[in-house]
Structure 1
Amino acid sequence: MRRALLVWRAWWLVCALAPFGAVLAAGANVGVPEMPEATEARWGVEWGAGTVASTVDGVTASGPVVLPYHWDRQHGGRPGEAVFDLPFTLAEAPDQPWGLFIARVGNAFDIRLNGHLLQTYGDLAEGGGADYAKAPIYVPLPAHLLQSGANVIQIRIRADTGRRAGLSRLTLGPAKAVRDAYFEPAYAWRFTGSVLLAAFSMLVGAISLALWFTQTDPAAPGDRRRDNLYLWAALAEFCWALRVADGAIRQPPLPWAAWGVLMTACYSGWAGAAVMFCQHLAGWQDRPAMRWLRRGTVLVFTMPVIACYVALTRAEPRWLTGWLALEITAVTAYALFFVAATVRRPNLARVWVASTIVLTVAVAVRDWLVIRLSHSYGDTTWVRYTSLFFALVLLALVVHRFRTASVQARDLLQTLAVRVAERERELAAAYGRLEIAAREQERLQERERILRDMHDGVGAHISAAIRQLQSGRASSEDLLDTLRDSLDQLKLSIDAMHLPAGDVEGVLAGLRYRLAPRFATAGIALEWGVDALEPVARLDVPALRQLQFLLFEAVSNVLQHAQASHLRIEATMQGAAVRIRVIDDGRGFDAARLPRALAARAEAIGARLAVESRPGRTVVLIDIPR
């Protein structure tokens, strides 16, 4: 098993490094092209021989030329102008329109056929403007301007510093054939492809940035709440989108030097962000060496920007070429390190990224050799197309990680839901136990209350009756009154159990019902002056019993001690309070010595108690605020 794993790793390493060998082999053959011969293409004639007159720094030089003509290789990146005279011979004048295809020409140029101006692209007098070398060119050739025998196409170009000016080989033939077989495929790859690639990179960057903003971990510390893998993916794709979009922007919004520096910054930013993405993907972001890697990344990918500024402002492209070589070397070293780590500990994500890195670096080496060093002209960069694979891998990894996080979140929610359900069941069981305990406690409290009422009321009266019997001095009438009070209070306690909270009117009605027979027996005329009363919400059942005992105490004093003939009970609403008055015409007592039992019960329910007494009139006033 271990041997099979080692064989698989070795095979994968060979496959991953194969693009390097292919690119280096191709680069070994890059150099000054051989003298081409005019060849008959399937649908037209491809040729590139003639004369050129170039002007650099005010000095004009003339001589023969064999296309392609790479301006930066021929003139060291200095700005200037050139006029190409490219003769060709036709056996006979065509009877249908022809077309001219040029893979690359610029930066600005015009085209003449046999001395007639056909097209002008850009301003040939002012440098740093539009760049028409970014897209292939197709020029219709009117049939009446072509003649049998010798013909001449003249192309005049204006070249800017470090802008890949020059002239590629030309293809001439019937209009439809040249347009369909040469121009449209080249235009689709270079111009339309750049637009689509830029749009796709923007889409991937927007998705990554949205995930970076939304996928947060509230439990993590401040700088760890968001997964920076998404951020580096977004930065890489945004930088690359702008860099690739340059292929479709003929007229940049900035002067050429500033725009060229910006494009170099986008290229370096893409490479640096891709490296940081790989670090987070591999889980190396927390290693101590990460700090030095960040510094090295900033240095390696910042210096090309400075070198580009120097190269463009001083017209010395070698500065940029050298620093791009250093950048590619650094990326290659990191790619080898990442590949080695992937071989040691492979997983699907690392294999995807490592394969894409190897392919991208290999193509970047090819581009550097072909675009920056060789005399070839007309070729375009391949890395813009291979970057599509990197963007697809980024998108796949971002979506895969998001899906994994979503599955984990869903599992966590399910687990949380199960735990919440368990806690709810536990709480319901605990609540049920508490409710049973509360009901049991309520019953115990009710028993204690009944026992306390019996002890304080009925028990006290029975104890008094026992003492009266034991003393031998109490009359049978006194003993009978004591026992009657005990019985009445017992009945009133039972009545209070069924009263709703706040029902003062019910308390008074029960008092009248239970004591009316005793009033009649005692020869006391009862007058009733009770109005409709509003409930007093703050008087619960225990408070109503206190009010009941308070009223019973006041009436019992009249029955036992007042020797009254009339008793009047009044109850009315006085604003927000209930006012109750017990009035008798008995002999009275000293009102300064308020009965302690009355005062204690009034205080217990928050009522105001006032007593007024003289012979013939005693008034006990109770005000109960609502």
Structure 2
Amino acid sequence: MRPASKGCWRVSRWIAKLWLALPLAVLPCAHASEPSEADAVPQRDGVVHITQAELLSVSGTGYSAPPKRAEDAALPGDGWKTINLPHTAPRELVPTSSSGARTVTDWYRIDLAGLAPSAQPRLLYLPRWKTLGHIAVYGDGLLLYQSHGSPVHNDYNHPLLLPLNATANTPSPTSVLIRVDRLRNSGSGFSTVWVGDEDSLSWRYQMRQLLQVQLPFMGSAAFLAVGAFAFAVWLRKKRESLYLLFFAISALAFLRTLHYYVGGSYTPISDEWFEWITVASLLWLIVLIHLFLQRLHRQPSAWLTRSALALTLACNVATLPHASTWVVSLYLFTPLLNLMVLPVAVLIFAVNLRKALRAQLPEGRLVAGWTVFAVAFTSYDGFLQNNLVSPESVYTSPYAIIGLFFVFSYILFQRYTDAFAEVGRLNKGLAQRLQAREAELGQSYRRLRAIETQHMLSAERRRLMQDMHDGLGSSLISAIRSVERGTMSDAEVSDVLKGCMDDLKLVIDSMENVDADLLLLLATLRFRLAPRIESAGVALRWEVQPVPVLSWLEPKSALHILRIVQECVANVLRHTRATTICVSTATLDQSVCVAIEDNGAGFDVDEALRRGGRGLRNQQRRALAIGATVSWESGSTGTRFMLWLPLHRKVDADKAIDAF
């Protein structure tokens, strides 16, 4: 057996034990007393338990207010008769009197003349009375108490405790008359009577009040409060229909039990509508419990649901106040309706429980245990409403509602905790999968980093090899061939070798981190080229000004800039016969301009480009690779070379550098 199933089984056994013990606690006086010679049974604590009385029934045509005084000798009727308490008057569904009498006034006479004098005020305790009418109590003919409100909701379920004499050491009445009005076709019930002092009767009254009124009210109120919480949960999780059904069931259960503890003249609606709500809430409660169970075992019965809804709607419409002429009064029809609904409820519960057990639903046993006792308690209350059992008994349906509250709360609690456990398991699984995924991503990242590093090293190696091949290699090959042919002097060979050294130094400088600082890069170039410029007898003017940082400047781009400037200086020294070289910088719009001017012989720029001068073409090609541009302005007074470097370079320029 699964742990959840064992838990449900243990809970159901405890509920079964509680339900078996409950009738013993709440039905201590459910049997009728046998006739005896004495009508008062004295108790050890001084209280008197009265189990016999005299009854006089007087027919009438309607309700009447109790008189201020009532003497037993002045009452009309055919005479008093001795009865045993508790006493029930059966329902007369078929009239037995042809006089047209609709109501009956029952007078119960209790003789207290034989009681010993008491130093304490004496009270009368009536555990239960039930009637469609009112009750009034007289002591020695004087009205001591009368019920208020409507004849239907008249506090019938509240025990009665009232003083017989106002103060101590005053004589208590020798005779008590209790007047009970009732409809002839409704019947009535009257329990045994207790007479004694406050200490002897108050605990009995409090216990009866607790069992009949307070516990049912607290149970239904707690049910409704938890239902309101479930409704709040449903508002956040509207796909969880169980919480909405739980709330609806709690609300209907509260309405269903409301008539057990309300009464007097304080109901805000009429008796007819209040009774209709009581009947309708019972019918809808059965339907919603069916939907709740169906939602649990997930085996819907379409025919049963449609039949239950149709029957409920038909009964609701048929019992609407003033909507039906065949029902004399709904509160007369209610006891019979409750008995008629019972087989339908048994059928609905049996079908759902069979499906729950067949689906091996752990909560099925728990609901099955509650159903057995709920049917038993409801049947018992049906008998009590129809005066077929002792009126001194306690209504047990409210306790079935309390049991429903605990059962459904336990089911939702299990679902709630199971959902949390499932979320915990899912979170744990997700954490494990996330950890494994992170490990895989870490390994992939390390592999990609290694591949990227290898690619960068390979690209840098190819760049250096290509640059050394095109620059240093080409110069060395030319020098070797010239030496072999003997066409170059030692000075010329020295100049070629110095140029090769400059190329090599520029390659090495381009590998250093310049931190996007163009001025640092130009200063490095000045340091490398200044000796060669001075040895050629050319003056160098350095007019470099601060310029913005070029964020894209890195070794690849730096080498292109160095090569462009080097080529420009080499052209000046080789071809122009200049005596001065000026290097300057400036910032214009979104570009940085590096300008190199000389005072040598100028040249025709267009003609040089058209002839395909290698030096000029290389400068243009390298500038294009870094997203820059070059231009020349040449005349008789000298030549001005300008390298325009963008402040922000586009992505295409990066690709051009990689492809260079």
TM-score normalized by structure 2?
A: 0.77
Matched, 1:458 2:482: no
Distance 1:452 1:50, change over 3 A: same
Please tell me the residue identity of whatever aligns with 1:104.
W
The answer to whether the aligner puts 1:370 opposite 2:394 as a matched pair is: no
Give CA deviations for 1:253-288 in whole Å, capped at 9, x if unaligned: 322222222222222232222222322333424xxx
Structure 2 counterpart of 1:282, from 263, 272, 297: 297
State the alpha-carbon separation in 2 of the partners of residues 253 and 449 from structure 1.
Answer: 96
1:523 is paired with a residue whose SS is: coil
Q: Distance in 2 between matches of 1:567 and 1:474?
A: 28
Q: Counterparts in 2 of 1:443-592, with a 5 A limit?
A: 443-465=457-479, 480-574=494-588, 577-592=591-606
Q: Does 1:112 align with 2:138?
A: yes
1:615 alignment partner in structure 2: 636
Cα displacement (A) at 1:367: 1.7
Question: How far, CA to CA, are the matches of 1:91 and 1:166 in structure 2?
Answer: 29
Q: Does 1:73 align with 2:97?
A: no
- Classify 1:464/1:49 alpha carbon distance in 2 versus 1 (closer, same or farther; 3 Å): farther
- 1:280-313 CA-to-partner distances (Å, cap 9, x unmatched) read 333424xxxx222321232344444334436897
In 1, Cα distance between equivalents of 2:223 and 2:101: 33
Distance 2:36 2:408 in 1: 43
Structure 1 unaligned regions, length at least 5: 1-8, 24-29, 217-224
Cα offset, 1:586, TM superposition: 0.8
Counterpart among 223, 227, 248 of residue 261 in structure 2: 248
Question: What residue in structure 1 maps to residue 201 of structure 2?
Answer: 179
- Partner of residue 437 from structure 1, selected from 440, 451, 458: 451
Superposed displacement of residue 335, structure 1? 3.6
1:399 aligned onto 2:399? no
**The one of 103, 106, 110 aligned to 1:88:** 110
Change (3 A) 1:196 1:36: farther
What SS does structure 2 have at the residue aligned with 1:134? coil
Measured at CA, do residues 81 and 475 of structure 1 come closer, stay the same or move farther in structure 2, by a change above 3 Å? farther
TM-score normalised per structure 1:
0.81
8 Å contact from structure 1 (residues 308, 319) kept in 2 = no
| Matched residue, 2:72 | none
Change (3 A) 1:343 1:414: closer
Count residues with an aligned counterpart: 587
Aligned to 1:196: 218
| Structure 2 equivalent of residue 142 of structure 1 | 165
CA distance in 1, matches of 2:455, 2:639: 43
- Give the distance between the partners of 1:68 and 1:299, measured in 2 at CA: 41
Amino acid at match of 1:190: Q
CA contact (8 A) 1:31 1:374 kept: no
CA shift in 2, pair 1:615/1:344, >3 Å: closer
Residue 297, structure 1, aligned to residue 308, structure 2? yes
Moved more, 483-492 or 515-524: 483-492
SS for the counterpart of 2:605 is coil
CA distance 1:99–1:148, change in 2 (3 Å): closer
Q: CA RMSD in A?
A: 4.1
CA shift, 1:377, in A, is 3.8
Alpha carbons of structure 1 residues 399 and 578: separation in structure 2 relative to 1, 3 Å: same
Residue from 614, 623, 626 that aligns with 1:602? 623
Structure 1 residue 418 displacement after superposition: 1.6
- Distance in 2 between the 1:446 and 1:307 partners? 95
Change in Cα spacing, 1:515 to 1:569, as seen in structure 2 (3 Å) is same
C-alpha distance after superposition, 1:173-223 (max 9, x if no partner): 113266335422211101111222113322443454455556x6xxxxxxx
| SS of residue in 2 equivalent to 1:568 | strand
CA distance in 2, matches of 1:319, 1:86: 27
The alpha carbon displacement at 1:446 in A equals 0.9
User: Structure 1 stretch 164-173 or stretch 482-491: which is displaced more?
Assistant: 164-173
Tell me which residue corresponds to 2:39. Answer: 39
Q: Distance in 2 between matches of 1:184 and 1:305?
A: 37
Q: Distance in 2 between matches of 1:158 and 1:474?
A: 145
1:402 & 1:111 partners in 2: Cα distance? 54
User: Which residue of the other structure, out of 168, 173, 185, is the alignment partner of 2:190?
Assistant: 168
Give the 3-state SS of the residue equivalent to 1:330 in structure 2: helix
Question: Contact 2:164 / 2:173 at 8 angstroms: preserved in 1?
Answer: no
> How far is the alpha carbon of 1:514 from its aligned partner?
1.0
Q: 1:526: how far off? A: 1.0
Contact 1:47 1:169 in 2 (8 A): no
CA distance in 2, matches of 1:336, 1:38: 50
Instruction: Determine the C-alpha separation between the residues in 1 that align with 2:617 and 2:532.
Output: 24
User: Is the Cα–Cα contact under 8 Å of residues 192 and 392 in structure 2 kept in the other structure?
Assistant: no
Q: Secondary structure at the match of 1:132?
A: coil
What SS class does the counterpart of residue 582 from structure 1 fall into?
strand
From 151, 155, 158, give the equivalent of 2:179: 155
After superposing the two structures, state which structure 1 stretch, 542-551 or 67-76, moved more. Answer: 67-76
Give yes or no for contact 2:587–2:593 (8 Å, CA) kept in 1: yes
**2:527, 2:497 → 1: CA distance?**
18
**Quick check: 1:571–1:580 contact (8 Å CA) kept in 2?**
yes
State the one-letter code of the partner of 1:174. Answer: G
CA spacing shift, 1:508–1:341, aligned 2, 3 Å: closer
Check the 8 A contact 2:125/2:162 in 1, yes or no. yes
Question: Corresponding residue for 2:241?
Answer: 228
Give the Cα separation in 2 of the matches to 1:165 and 1:610: 120
Cα distance, 1:325–1:566 mapped onto 2, change above 3 Å: same
Residues 1:134 and 1:476: Cα distance change in structure 2 (over 3 Å): same
- Which has the larger displacement, 314-323 or 296-305? 314-323
Q: Secondary structure of the equivalent of 2:320?
A: helix
Say if 1:573 and 1:76 are closer, same or farther in 2 by CA, change over 3 A: farther
Whether the 8 Å CA contact 2:297–2:355 is kept in 1: the answer is no
2:105 maps to 1:100: no
Per-residue CA deviations over 1:547-601 (Å, capped at 9, x if unaligned) read: 2222112111111111111111112445764332101011011234553322333
